[in-house]
Amino acid sequence: MLICSPSKLISTIMFKELWNCPNSSDFIALFAENFEDEESASSFKTMSQVAREQKITVVGGSVSERSGDRLYNTCCVFSSNGELLAKHRKIHLFDINIEGDITFRESDTFAAGSDPTIVDTDVGRIGIGICHDIRFPELAMLYRDRGAHLICYPGAFNISTGEALWELEQQARQVFPCSLLSCFIFLFPCTYQSILGTFRAVDNQVYLIS
């Protein structure tokens, strides 16, 4: 469990993608939570509790959400009083097959979300994407046009795909469209399997936590 100082220097925290379970199809369904049943949704309750007790905005990375017979890769955003402000279901699912290296098909497990998510919080207007959502500039452009001050992309790239894609994509999003307005990008690119090693800020605008 993440414990933060109540100092006003900390106003927002963000979790990683699928922080509550191994990012494997064998575990995702097992750890899935129905957010409508808060008593059984332990990760959901934890994020709300952290937000309320520490009086901070929580961008909850993502957890596996069960809705009917479908699973979604979902990011919840909580206000400083623990209230659920919004949830974003990952729109762009990541399917890849690198012969001799890695095969991963997120679409075999999750259904895709359909709606962009922008939410007003104590720290400003935030647009939400999850990991592979960063590849698509149209989503960031929409958030920019709707007045986002911050775009959050909790992620979980592994070494193979991360080295090929992650840094390039973060630079691309910073240059366009976010450089056109005062719009900051916050990334959380770690993974439970192989944490991408060294990260750096891009043009002093992108903040990375590993």
C-alpha 149: how far from chain center:
16
Which secondary structure element, helix H or strand E, spans residue 139, and what is its range? helix 137-145
Taking the C-alpha atoms of residue 50 and residue 57, their distance in angstroms, rounded to an integer, is 9
Nearest to 35 by CA among 80, 79, 89, 81: 89
Of 21, 75, 76, 131, which one is the catalytic site residue? 131
Of 16, 17, 87, 152, which one is the catalytic site residue? 17
Catalytic (active site) residue 17: yes
Paired tokens of 162: 């991360």
Catalytic (active site) residue 131: yes
Task: Decide: helix, strand or coil at residue 61.
Answer: coil
Contact 12, 188 (CB under 8 A): no
Of 16, 75, 87, 90, which one is the catalytic site residue? 90
Taking the C-alpha atoms of residue 5 and residue 11, their distance in angstroms, rounded to an integer, is 10
Taking the C-alpha atoms of residue 195 and residue 189, their distance in angstroms, rounded to an integer, is 8
Taking the C-alpha atoms of residue 194 and residue 3, their distance in angstroms, rounded to an integer, is 24
Taking the C-alpha atoms of residue 126 and residue 86, their distance in angstroms, rounded to an integer, is 10
Residues that are catalytic: 17, 90, 131
